[in-house]
Amino acid sequence: MQQIGIGLAGLGTVGGGVFKHLTKNRILLMERLGLELVVRKIAVRDVAKARAVAAPAELMTTSWRDLVEDPGVRIVVELMGGTDAALELVLSAIAKGKIVVTGNKALLAEHGREIFKAAAKYQVPVFFEAAAAGGVPIIKSIREAFIGNHIQSIHGIINGTSNYILTRMTASGMGFEDALAEAQRMGFAEADPALDVNGWDAAHKAIILASLAYGFWVGTDKIYVEGIERITAEDIRFAGELGYCVKLLAIIKADEKGEIEARVHPALIPRSHVLASVNGVFNAIAVRGDVVGDTLFYGCGAGQDPTASAVISDLAEAAAALESPRRGFGFTPHALYGNCKPISSVVSEYYLRIAVVDKPGVLAQVAGILGELNIGISSVIQPEAQEGESVPLVLMIHYATNDQMQTALARIAGLSVVKRPPRMIRVENLA
């Protein structure tokens, strides 16, 4: 049977999973593909390091260049992490005519334009299903299954760590710090969880999805990113009273003029919507196309096995591409859509929590500022308190631009009856 040589860069969590399952399911893959996927070389930083998945010593090397230079390696799998060395490896492999498979979301988000320009130049495809939502086949679906659709919107819960934290805060009433500590004890959050909780892990994935959906590579400076660090148990409780839950949401959509929104931030979503029931470390992505309508993808968004499954799927497709060259190389640019809207002009609904002194006329002062800026109030919650005490005033705000709301927040914060800077969370009704 024909053998296809693979060079594997990285034998960590995901790389180890890929090697393990290629070995374990070797016969299944041979039967389904009609060829054999064989790992010829594995590049690691330290050959002597103890690993959960062992590989034969004769396959190991400390130089990724050995993968690129080996004529027996036809597909290079980049799972080494980081961006500098990974970019050099990917571009070198493409220049050598070797197909690339990667799960490196940061690499693609920051250097996708450069990588796919090289792929087109050398006519070498790049596969990257594992770069967004782990085992959920969202890349392939947007690129292939929905090829005949204008993508109207994508709403995704695509960071399992943040989703676990918000789920625990909702279920138990605990604060952010306690929920994060629990996630770390459970192994769902890294010792340094910054990229997860500050929104940038989800943002890297959102950049990839937005670029595929709309045909131009979205720069990291064009996406609005806000994390969950400032979400409080109080916010979650009030959201529940109003019929919402709080999720870290990736929002990608096009308006009737073809302008694009790409943003990641906490959002109130209706508890009646299916995304509200996505809990723990699971991911879900709702895609709306003008032909297909509404679709939903759900599954494990990270971890060794789900991500390895996505990589192996790409390996199978890469092997097929060796036999039948294709016109597309992973990303097809086009000019049907315009640029990204700045967050200042994005229109949304809002949840607004203000710590105020409980005395007559406070609501009128706040409403007056909002009215002067042509911002409407849809509902109000104000718990009872002793006169003169600080109390939360919670407002649900009708549609307004971000600029309008920032102006309003600055003016409201200047009121003598307001004790702390107001807290704003966007609302997505997902209609």
* CA dist., res. 10 & res. 279, Å (int): 31
* CA dist., res. 127 & res. 329, Å (int): 8
| Beta-strand runs (E) in 138-194 | 151-157
Determine contact, residues 424/352, Cβ cutoff 8 Å. Answer: yes
Contacts of 168-177 with C-beta under 8 Å, sequence gap 24+, read 169/231, 169/233, 169/236, 169/246, 170/236, 170/240, 170/245, 170/246, 173/233, 173/236, 173/237, 174/233, 175/232, 175/233, 176/228, 176/229, 176/230, 176/231, 176/232, 176/233
Query: What distances in angstroms separate CA 44 from CA 11, 118, 248, 315, one per listed residue?
Result: 6, 25, 34, 20
**Is 253 among the catalytic positions?**
no
* CA dist., res. 142 & res. 147, Å (int): 7
Query: What distances in angstroms separate CA 374 from CA 59, 276, 348, 377, one per listed residue?
Result: 67, 31, 14, 10
Among residues 105, 205, 222, 253, the one annotated as catalytic is 205
Task: Provide φ and ψ at 338, rounded to 5°.
Answer: -90, -150
* CA dist., res. 257 & res. 137, Å (int): 29
| 289 alpha-carbon distance from chain centroid | 19
Query: What distances in angstroms separate CA 300 from CA 68, 81, 163, one per listed residue?
Result: 32, 20, 12
Q: Which one-letter DSSP state was computed for residue 342?
A: P
* CA dist., res. 184 & res. 93, Å (int): 36
Neighbours of 243 (CB within 10 A): 11
Residue corresponding to tokens 């679906």 = 141
**What is the torsion angle, in degrees rounded to the nearest 10, for the CA atoms of residue 404, residue 214, residue 143 and residue 208?**
-60
Query: Hey, which residues are catalytic here?
Result: 205
